[in-house]
Amino acid sequence: MTTEVLLDTNTYLRLAKRIRPAVGRQFGQVPYVLVILKVVEDEVHQSSKLRFNNPWFDEPEFAQERLAKQVRLSAADKAQIELVKGVLLGIVQLDLEKYTSHKRSPPGRADCWLLAYGQVKDAIVATDDLGMHTLAAEAGLKVWHGYELLAKLKTAKVVDNDKVREIYEALEANGDLTATWRQAKHEQFARIFGPKP
């Protein structure tokens, strides 16, 4: 039985250009399969900033890959996911301060849809959004940071040390290296980058 790993918007944008193919890729002994939902595509298309920063997103190679591997949901699944999404949004509203501290944005509808899908379909959500991690911990849902996914891809020999270095260099060059990725550099990937200086 394959376990789906859902790429949220930022995780997809950080990895999809450098790990080919990204969507539909199977890896590991479980095995896992990388999945992207239409809600992620919609999020990019609705954001002029994301479109501007990622002009490659709608290039045929990437658009066709996403389309070919798009998840089809039954009406029953959609209804269940909507129900869970509503509960998750409610949890956020009950303690908004918890999700907005340190200038963070609280998990929105797209975030809660991904987490709800994870709950309903027993999937793992790969996200670097700390608000989503907080909500997932509260609701008992499975999430990975983007660097955790990268570490698992390395263990499964989908990427090698050079590719990990290339991804880190690109994130640094784009000003997209989050605190969690920075911390993981000398912990998860100590054999590549060396221990923390």
Three-class SS of residue 176?
coil
Residues 71-97 have a mean pLDDT of 94
How does pLDDT run across 115-162, given as a tens digit for each residue? 999 999 999 999 999 999 999 999 999 999 999 999 999 999 999 999
38-68: pLDDT as tens digits: 999 999 999 999 999 999 999 999 999 999 8
**pLDDT band, very low/low/confident/very high, at 80 (cuts 50, 70, 90):** very high
How far is 34 from 99, CA to CA, in rounded Å? 27
What pTM, to 2 d.p., does this model score?
0.93
- CA-nearest of 32, 193, 12 to 122 is 32
Helices (H) and strands (E) in the chain, counts: 12, 5
Place of tokens 């920075």: 182
Q: Do the beta carbons of residue 40 and residue 7 sit within 8 Å? A: yes
